[in-house]
Amino acid sequence: MMNPLDDAPAAVVQRQLDAYNRKDLEGWLATYAPDAQQFELGGGLLAQGHEAIRARAQARFADPDLHAQLIRRIQMGPVVIDHEWVIRRFPSGLGHMEMVCIYQVAHGLIQSATFSFGLPMPGMPPPNP
């Protein structure tokens, strides 16, 4: 039997982050509603629905260096905001970038995710404060 707290917005987002760091594409996608949307902050729609979200994430999940390091998390009701360092391969080599991810969660699933992408920087991120 699933614990009702497993559907709490922060728990759903943590499951998403854990699956992301395991590079478990199907497990990660399972945290999203079938018709979920992903947006760029201040920009347009990046993907809508499982198939489009999967297609957008497949290449990223193939990166053996991919890892998201949570800096801090804020929750206000169904909204969860993660501030992260994302380590990955860029065309110039191994690096990291800062990200802010804003998730709206309902019924135990991410309904929408909005991302603000920092600039790619070489090497590993600084230690968390």
| pLDDT tens readout for residues 96-127 | 999 999 999 999 999 999 999 999 999 888 87
Task: Summarize the confidence of residues 58-73 as an average pLDDT.
Answer: 95
Return the domain boundaries, the chain: 4-122
| Residue found under tokens 């709206």 | 104
Classify burial at 50, counting beta carbons within 10 Å of its beta carbon; exposed 0-12, middle 13-18, buried 19 or more: middle
CA distance 113 to 17: 13
CA distance 101 to 81: 6
Give residue 127's identity as a one-letter amino acid code: P
pTM: 0.92
CATH of domain 4-122: 3.10.450.50
CA distance 129 to 125: 11
pLDDT of 103 reads 98
